Structure 1
Amino acid sequence: MSLRRALHFVFKVGDRNKTATFYRDVLGMKVLRHEEFEEGCKATCNGPYDGKWSKTMVGFGPEDNHFVSELTYNYGVGEYHLGNDFLGITLQSSQAVSNARRLGWPLLEAGQGVYLAEAPGGYSFYLVDEEQPQTDPIQKVSLAVSDLQRSTHYWSVLLGMQILERDAERKSVLLGFGDGQCKLELRDIGGPVDHGTAFGRIAFSCPRTQLPDIEAIMKKENQTIITPLVSLDTPGKATVEVVILADPDGHEICFVADEAFRQLSAVDPDGNALLDAAIAADKSDEWFARRNKPKASA
């Protein structure tokens, strides 16, 4: 399974302006590409919505060799209810810690040399106060599970991730598809996992030929397939094939064909300008304010 790689985590955001400040100015990430869509994604990439939305990929480097964040914005939705499913992303960057202090972004001590910073929407980022590596600074994504043994079997046996560490005290397991990649931490919270309305999605790539096999094993094991193998079009870019799954706790998982995704995910030098232009052109806040209405709460 070494040909599989971790790609990104999808966050639903209600305020692109504040969100962009956090990722660009606090974390120090770059806008890799930005895309606007007039209608909902047929693989529910933007959640259960049919209207206009945008997707912004941000990270410390190209998606070919960095784990990045996908920021999904649904026009007209101002906030989402955060559940207990997403436990945080851990990254190593003393520069991010310095940026947060300089900008007055709240930091909480979360351990020796580790600080917690919340992105708009309440998403947790754990900043390790050490020099940012030349490779990908993103170390791991942490997700909550209700039954660690069951989830470990799903991710390791059915999806082929390697078990790297077990921590009985933390009731957690660390998994990965290969060295130098972002890892996945599953942590048993001892109760039900609530996804709220902000539920995210973690994405991985694999060779195109493996997608039918992934779908087949999930059918055989009576696991949840949210979206059977489907092709997704992005205007002017490569068409990619994906399978969308859900693990035993309902965490959404996207597997995408690597060959086409590498074409689709090429860094767009205009991405930053496109995001800024979209934010400036978005008058939805003003529209709701004129009518004395709040933006919708998902």
Structure 2
Amino acid sequence: MCHDLKSFWGISPAIPQSQVLGVKASELLRPAESTTKTNNIGNVAEMNSNLTEDSALRWAKKDKRRMLHAVYRVGDLDKTIKFYTECFGMKLLRKRDIPEERYSNAFLGYGPEDSHFTVELTYNYGTDKYNVGNGLHFGITLDDVAKAVNLVKAKGGKVIKESVLLDGNGKVITYVEDPDGYKFELSEAATTPEPLHHVKLCVGNLDRSINFYKKAFGMDLLSKQDNPEYKYSEVTLGYGPEDTNPVLKLTYNYGVTVYDKGDGYAQIAIGTDDVYKTAEAIKLFDGIIALEPGPLPGINTKITACLDPDGWKSVFVDNVDFLKELE
């Protein structure tokens, strides 16, 4: 509940993007040949598109979409891997080092990437600290929150609010920080199919954001609550029921229109069957395309990246190409 954690939120410009799916922006967006080639691909898609708003809405709903992973940067990759595996019970799913680009990344979660939401951590050589911002946090359900809290305290994390806040379903939740300062909401349940169950972003206009994510992203509005006593409203959106799928939570704090995105958090990755059509649909609903659709240099995974009305970034990844990465 970000409304109770005043230190979470603040004001700053949008984050710079230094990696998309582990590939540096310097490789993706070189000023000459690569930029022209990528943008031309997007322009061809635009010229060939026959999408209207109605057909774009239908496409967004029928497309096979799933939240794949959240991407962010850390100052010590091995330390963060150790913290997440020991404190949160995550598993290291894969790890790769790209010395020629001076970065490494790792994927962690609670099950295979082809069926579970995960985190993608990026370490840039020589950078040991980031401004993590104060407009987001992640949600995890564990079978023993008290045990996790004790481990967080012992292994370099920080407890912000300890087992005193109640969410909308009456569950006791706890807020903690990892060693980099990223914030996690911990809730308790004996079993859950998707332990890493949400990303929460703060937005400046809730109705505007709901409209964007429903139309441009094809998400369903799963729940909405207003809490005038605490001066905030919150909605849950996603691609299926909240009890079995990862979801996006959006919070509006009364009177706050801008938040600090920092330079650590990058984006949410979402699967799609067609990045070109998805990009065109996003444009029709006033989304900003940050990276025109096309294949990534070197690995040929087709992606497109966009910004929501508040400047939060998402990347859509071709479903078939993503599965090839996991082979």
**Is this a same-fold pair by TM over 0.5?**
yes
Partners of 2:221 and 2:251 lie apart in 1 by: 13
8 A contact 1:174–1:183 mirrored in 2: yes
Aligned CA distance change for structure 1 residues 228 and 81 (closer, same or farther; 3 Å): same
Q: Return the letter of the residue paired with 2:114.
A: D
TM-superposed CA distance for 1:84, in Å, is: 2.2
Q: Return the letter of the residue paired with 2:120.
A: E
Partner residue, 1:82:
132
Partner deviation per Cα, 1:95-150 (whole Å, 9 max, x = no partner): 454144156254332525311121121111111122242x2212211001111111
Aligned CA distance change for structure 1 residues 264 and 97 (closer, same or farther; 3 Å): farther
Partner residue, 1:263:
324
Runs of 4+ aligned structure 1 residues displaced above 4 Å come to none
Partner residue, 2:239:
177
Partner residue, 1:230:
294
Q: Return the letter of the residue paired with 2:202.
A: A
Would you say 1:122 and 2:181 are equivalent positions?
yes
Partners of 2:146 and 2:321 lie apart in 1 by: 36
8 A contact 1:10–1:70 mirrored in 2: yes
Partner residue, 2:165:
111
Q: Tell me, what secondary structure is at the counterpart of 1:168? A: strand
Q: Return the letter of the residue paired with 2:81.
A: A
Partner residue, 1:101:
150
Partners of 1:176 and 1:219 lie apart in 2 by: 20
- Using structure 2 for the length normalisation, give the TM-score: 0.71
TM-superposed CA distance for 1:219, in Å, is: 3.0
Partners of 1:127 and 1:219 lie apart in 2 by: 36
Partner residue, 2:40:
none
Partners of 2:285 and 2:211 lie apart in 1 by: 12
TM-superposed CA distance for 1:230, in Å, is: 1.9
Alignment size in residue pairs: 248
Partner residue, 1:70:
120
Q: Bigger shift: 100-109 or 63-72?
A: 100-109
Unaligned residue ranges in structure 1 (runs of 5+): 40-50, 267-298
Q: Tell me, what secondary structure is at the counterpart of 2:147? A: helix
1:217-256 equivalences under 5 Å are 217-233=281-297, 239-256=300-317
Aligned CA distance change for structure 1 residues 157 and 252 (closer, same or farther; 3 Å): same
1:1-298 equivalences under 5 Å are 1=61, 3-39=64-100, 51-86=101-136, 88-95=137-144, 97-102=146-151, 104-105=154-155, 106-107=158-159, 108-109=161-162, 110-112=164-166, 113-133=172-192, 135-169=193-227, 170-179=232-241, 180-189=244-253, 190-207=256-273, 210-233=274-297, 239-266=300-327
TM-superposed CA distance for 1:233, in Å, is: 4.9
TM-superposed CA distance for 1:81, in Å, is: 1.1
Unaligned residue ranges in structure 2 (runs of 5+): 1-60, 167-171
- Using structure 1 for the length normalisation, give the TM-score: 0.77
Q: Percent identity?
A: 29
Partners of 1:75 and 1:203 lie apart in 2 by: 23
8 A contact 2:77–2:105 mirrored in 1: no
